[in-house]
Amino acid sequence: MRYALVTGGSGGIGKAVCRKLAQMGFPVIIHYHKNEAIAREVKEEIETAGNHAELISFDVTDTQQVKTTLEAWKEKHENDYIAVLVNNAGISKDELMVWMEKENWRSVIDTNLNSFYNVTSGLLKDMITSKFGRIINMVSLSGQKGLPGQTNYAAAKAGVIGATKALAQEVGKKKVTVNAVAPGYIRTEMTQELDEKELKRLIPVNRFGTPEEVAETVGFLASDGASYITGEVIKINGGLYT
Amino acid sequence: MSKEDVVTIVNDFLIDEFELEEEQLHPKARMKEDLDIESLDFVDIAVIIEKEFGLKVTSEQMVKIKKLEDLYNFILAHSQN
């Protein structure tokens, strides 16, 4: 059976993506690191709706831990594989470059960029040999346009965009697609301290987006209907940056 | 396992997986130039080698396989160990 794994499944966008993929019929593996209670709520919600969900926990920055945990999952699921991977886990630690300590640079690169390697590399072989795979990377407006105060985050997300385009060319022949979704301002924990009233004037659609609007695009990219779209970065930003 | 068995298993897989014709599968056939088998295709080959012959293949070993006979010989050499 084809499973979907959503890293950072307890976060604002992650939760919406888990629900969407479950509605589409994928058994969903909800990944969390620290927010077990929220991940469990999402699982119960999906199960109440009559769909299948499982929890998995690892630190996306820990290469060995990711490998061991995913291998253990595979051992328990002999006839299944993770066909849809949504690399969604991420953090931001905004600070002007002039004040930024190395640790804030390193942790953001680790969680947003190195995690892409840690999680994706071990799942590719099954996708390639099964001749079906969907890798969807959550990037950001910041990785395309650059935003002040986010040199670390912008660098990480721009790195993932580059990796998306390269990997898409590596594995396209095996019917594995690799795309990225670049949200602008979305109503989540990450943007709760921003002033929507002020910022919405810059956005043609005149509001922040919702996690569900991002999840719709992820769902489409995961579907059979998106089989000829690969190496693409889809902006979901209300027209803020085109 | 005899060389004939190895050749049969490998050829059947290559015909099925890469839509090759049996007459193309000459031992001297070059993987890339003659059979159009590229680096990523070796992932599929590695998996079948592991499944059918119980051998783990590294990417370093894979890059040394230039001709079809190299692949047969690799399997024979390692499965006898």
Give, for all 242 residues of chain A, the pLDDT tens digit.
999 999 999 999 999 999 999 999 999 999 999 999 999 999 999 999 999 999 999 999 999 999 999 999 999 999 999 999 999 999 999 999 999 999 999 999 999 999 999 999 999 999 999 999 999 999 999 999 999 999 999 999 999 999 999 999 999 999 999 999 999 999 998 898 999 999 999 999 999 999 999 999 999 999 999 999 999 999 999 999 99
Taking the CA atoms of residue A40, residue A45, residue A48 and residue A52 in that order, the dihedral angle to the nearest 10 degrees is -70
Domain that holds residue A193: 2-236
Supply the CATH number for residue A220's domain: 3.40.50.720
Give the CATH number of domain B3-79. Answer: 1.10.1200.10
Say yes or no for a CB contact (<8 Å) between B43 and A170: no
- Cα gap A81→B73, rounded to integer Å: 32
Q: Each residue of B22-33: pLDDT tens digit?
A: 999 999 999 999
- Cα gap A8→A93, rounded to integer Å: 16
Q: What is the 3-state secondary structure (H, E, C) of chain B?
A: CCHHHHHHHHHHHHHHHHCCCHHHCCCCCECCCCCCCCCCHHHHHHHHHHHHHCCCCCHHHHHCCCEHHHHHHHHHHHHCC
Interface list for B 4-33 with A (CB within 8 A): none
Question: Is residue A241 in some structural domain?
Answer: no
Question: Is residue A242 in some structural domain?
Answer: no
Which residues of chain B does A170 touch, with a Cβ-Cβ cutoff of 8 Å? 40
- Cα gap A116→A127, rounded to integer Å: 16
Say yes or no for a CB contact (<8 Å) between B40 and A125: no
Which residues of chain B does A125 touch, with a Cβ-Cβ cutoff of 8 Å? 43, 47
Helix (H) or strand (E) holding A90: none
Q: How many cross-chain Cβ pairs, A to B, lie less than 8 Å apart?
A: 15
Say yes or no for a CB contact (<8 Å) between B40 and A129: no
Question: Is residue A34 in some structural domain?
Answer: yes
pTM value is 0.94
Domain boundaries, given as residue ranges, for chain B: 3-79
A119 contacts A7 by C-beta, under 8 angstroms: yes
**A166 to chain B, minimum CA–CA distance in Å?**
14
State ipTM: 0.86
Provide the number of structural domains found in chain A.
1
